[in-house]
Structure 1
Amino acid sequence: MIISKYLLVLIPFICSTVTFHASAQDRRDVQPPQWPRHICADLVPADINRLQSLLNDCPSGSAVRLTRGRFVSSPLTITSNVYLWIAQGATLVATTDPTAYDRGTGECGKINDKGNACHPFLLFDHTKDGGLLGRGTIEGQGGQPILGTTRSWWQLARIAQRMNQKQNAPRLIALDHVQNFTMGYITLKNSPNFHVMITQSKDVTLWGITIDTPPDARNTDGIDPSSSHDITIIHSIIRTGDDHIAIKAGPHGASHHISILNSSLYWGHGLSIGSETMGGVHDILVKNIIINGAKWGLRIKSDSTRGGIVERIHYDTVCLYHTQWPIFLDTSYNKNANGNNIPIYKSIFFKNIYIDNGTIYLHGYNKNYLSDLFFKNLITPIHMQWSVAYTNLYRDKSTHEPYIKSCQATSL
């Protein structure tokens, strides 16, 4: 069933220049993370008060390693070419004390109209080389009571939502203007806010990451690259209360040449682009992905207050199971938006996409700003629901199957 306001359908492709070869991707030759050869300190939980000073003094190319046990810490800053290594059996736990994160306003742990009063738990700021490794866990304690109160960080977020305000809660990990950063094998749990925020950075690899947070934890995005380029997210598992991944581009520039590969996404709000796209998003490759049990699957969202050009996006071999909105492209994310930053989606390619149920939602902005979408080998059930508006939709070799028998994505 197709509900259409303005729709052009061309079957088969009539333009020989249309290509599904995804040259749009991270331009580096990305390899598995290497363990640091030199350990400048091995810590046990009793050493936690020395952790920041050891990170500051650790020689270039070396690691501070947390061995076994539970390490409760205040926020930490990691410098260039230093690794924090969290070994298997070790858990680095974020304090619930809001004063430890406060930026000096006294507002962290409170509600206001800004939401920027907290430092992140782990900060990599203007660093080059180094990173975060290990088969241990970083525990954000988002569901635990904020020290001195009876409500958790997540409850604070829900209260702020009802008040149409913003919660001041710390992000778990912030990468700000970093270069050649590696995060490998770590498990992130229960962030008070976003798990990993990547801002104005380049040459970043996240390999074998697990993010595990409840589905009702508000604003707990998994990984958000913003105005960044040459990023690879690979061999990872994400289940969280908001976007699994959200590629953003604000006033500081475009996000481009990003690869999301061989990963599994469970509950959450989608493998997303947006909602901020005013800086432009282009040359993105999403390949060999399984999405199972999410509310949204492949998602592009923006509106006229924060929109821009999103182009040369390649989705290749994606299996979507039990997902309400398996493909969702929306140009009116805020239905009340009234601005001049029009979202424009063009050269969006879908190849080898397998869907078992739900509704495909493809809405361009208006008749002057149509979305251009290309589908090749789209396999859906015969009862698939479509909602299409203001979209040039090109389809080739699409079939209907009662069950998905041929999905070939290999996620891990």
Structure 2
Amino acid sequence: MRWRSAFISVVLLTLVTVEKPQWVGAQSFHCKHSKSGALRPHSVSITEFGAVGDGVTLNTKAFQNAIFYLHSFADKGGAQLFVPAGKWLTGSFSLISHLTLSLDNDAIIIGSTDLDDWPIIDPLPSYGRGRELPGNRHQSLIHGYNLTDVVITGGNGTIDGQGSIWWDLFKNNTLNYTRPHLVELMYSIGVVISNLTFTNSPFWAIHPVYCSQVLIQNVTILAPLDSPNTDGIDPDSSTNVCIKDCYISTGDDLIVIKSGWDEYGISFARPSSNISIKGILGQTKFGAGIAIGSEMSGGVSEVHAEGIHIFNSLYGIRIKTSPGRGGYVRNIYISNVIMTDVKYAIRITGQFGEHPDDNYDPNALPYINRITFKDIYGEHIGFAGLLEGIKGDNFSDICLSGVLLNATGSEDPQWNCSYVEGYSYQVYPVSCQLLQQVPNDSSVCYAPADNCMKLASL
């Protein structure tokens, strides 16, 4: 097939550069940056507050006292808290507005292994309970609430959650509360997280929830491939989010967009929208490279992901939902993706289950519409795709365009579809009959205006 040969040529040229997290240079796709490199007029070192970087001394009070002191500079251009080289053991601490937390290249902030150093806080209102257990949850190592203009950055310093103690508690069913994240910022605006390495998160690593104007750039996120639920970046009920140029290797989804859980997410009604993802490289043993859901009851829309390389993973791209979720997933455009050694290239799941309690409405059906997967190439793919909607609630306008997968699984057919409607154009293996083959995709497949999603200025 002539189109197939041409497509392979383009993909192979792309593959040469995809190993570098900053390989994408699409002119029509960009995120406007905030002043992530702006200098604060006031700066202090954590050592000025008695902190000791020996990896043994607990420095929670030093972090708390330093940040309390810097609060007086919030209306004077803000301030910087500098963490120099060393191993800085600490429990959870909270940030303030107009603050830059900056780590030296050889600085490591280490989470305490004493569970009492991670306070218990209320569940998220859009979840109604802890994500893992009914009731409350542990506060993240680095926490923020109702902040404006906060930056977490450095010269590729490290934030290490020492998550193995939490993973063991989870596996042994001995947790009392839901595990903490490494970083969680709530109800905040103007957030920048950049140039750092995050390792061994107890649970999800970076969790902006109820936030807007968020930039996450040039971060590395690492956890053992068998670590449970160690998602990389989880924008949750957040808008105007840009994630770019990251390397992520974890036990669960690399990047997953969420917006609340069943009746609680429906009632809270705060969607995730205007999400840009670009230049991501990574692997995951139990999750997907790019995922949406399964908690999407507040709605997810206007998501544009481009320039993704997923390898050695269970799923490439996944959308997860269920009866009882309500909400919607619409106007999703994922393009320019390379997958290598991925078991399932694309999976849409309409029966994911997992409900917070028995009070959800099983008739609250999700609305899934206008989903485009474009220019996707895969080598050593186990199964091309499982696209499973919900009986009586067909997922519509699902479009595959320029999708070439070297599927090696023994199952036949390579695409398995149910309760979906849509289109396909230049797809190999040939897609399922429920996706009507069309002569071109220019008029039937959803695409962002001008093939570009422009974020509001941060």
State the match for 1:370 in structure 2.
395
- Answer yes or no: is 1:80 the counterpart of 2:97: yes
State the match for 1:40 in structure 2.
43
- Answer yes or no: is 1:285 the counterpart of 2:304: yes
Structure-2 separation of matches of 1:219 and 1:157: 10
- Answer yes or no: is 1:118 the counterpart of 2:138: yes
Distance 1:281 1:73, change over 3 A: same
- Answer yes or no: is 1:139 the counterpart of 2:160: yes
- Answer yes or no: is 1:240 the counterpart of 2:259: no
Deviates more, 1:241-250 or 1:378-387: 378-387
The structure 1 segments of at least 4 consecutive aligned residues displaced by more than 3 Å after TM superposition are 165-168, 335-338
Structure-2 separation of matches of 1:290 and 1:307: 31
Indicate the RMSD between aligned Cα atoms, in angstroms: 2.8
Letter in 1 for 2:163: G
Structure-1 separation of matches of 2:321 and 2:429: 30
Structure-2 separation of matches of 1:247 and 1:157: 23
- Answer yes or no: is 1:155 the counterpart of 2:168: yes
Pick the structure with more helix per residue. 2
Structure-2 separation of matches of 1:112 and 1:265: 25
Distance 1:315 1:104, change over 3 A: closer
**Alpha-carbon offset, residue 199 of structure 1:** 1.0
**Alpha-carbon offset, residue 254 of structure 1:** 0.8
- Answer yes or no: is 1:219 the counterpart of 2:240: no
Q: Is the 8 A contact 1:238 1:244 kept in 2?
A: yes
Matches within 5 A, 1:7-406: 29-30=32-33, 33-38=36-41, 40-44=43-47, 45-46=51-52, 48=59, 49-58=61-70, 59-60=73-74, 61-103=78-120, 113-114=133-134, 116-134=136-154, 135-143=156-164, 152-160=165-173, 167-250=177-260, 251=265, 252=268, 253-268=270-285, 269-270=287-288, 271-334=290-353, 339-356=362-379, 357-359=381-383, 360-381=385-406, 385-399=414-428
Distance 1:370 1:267, change over 3 A: closer
Letter in 2 for 1:266: Q
**Alpha-carbon offset, residue 38 of structure 1:** 4.0
**Alpha-carbon offset, residue 307 of structure 1:** 3.6
Which TM-score applies when normalising by structure 1? 0.82
Please give the per-residue CA displacement for 1:231-271, whole angstroms capped at 9, x wherever unaligned.
01100011111221221112231110001101112124111
Equivalent position SS for 2:284: coil
- Percent identity for Structure 1 against Structure 2: 26
Q: Is the 8 A contact 2:372 2:400 kept in 1?
A: yes
Equivalent position SS for 1:276: coil
Q: Is the 8 A contact 2:34 2:190 kept in 1?
A: no
Unaligned 5+ runs, structure 2:
1-25, 54-58, 123-130, 431-458
Please give the per-residue CA displacement for 1:305-363, whole angstroms capped at 9, x wherever unaligned.
22421100000101111111111100100289971221222100111011221221101
Structure-2 separation of matches of 1:299 and 1:211: 20
Which TM-score applies when normalising by structure 2? 0.74
**Alpha-carbon offset, residue 100 of structure 1:** 1.7
Q: Is the 8 A contact 1:344 1:364 kept in 2?
A: no
Q: Is the 8 A contact 2:319 2:349 kept in 1?
A: yes
Deviates more, 1:391-400 or 1:335-344: 335-344
Unaligned 5+ runs, structure 1:
1-21, 106-110, 144-151, 402-412
Equivalent position SS for 2:68: helix
State the match for 1:404 in structure 2.
none
**Alpha-carbon offset, residue 25 of structure 1:** 8.3
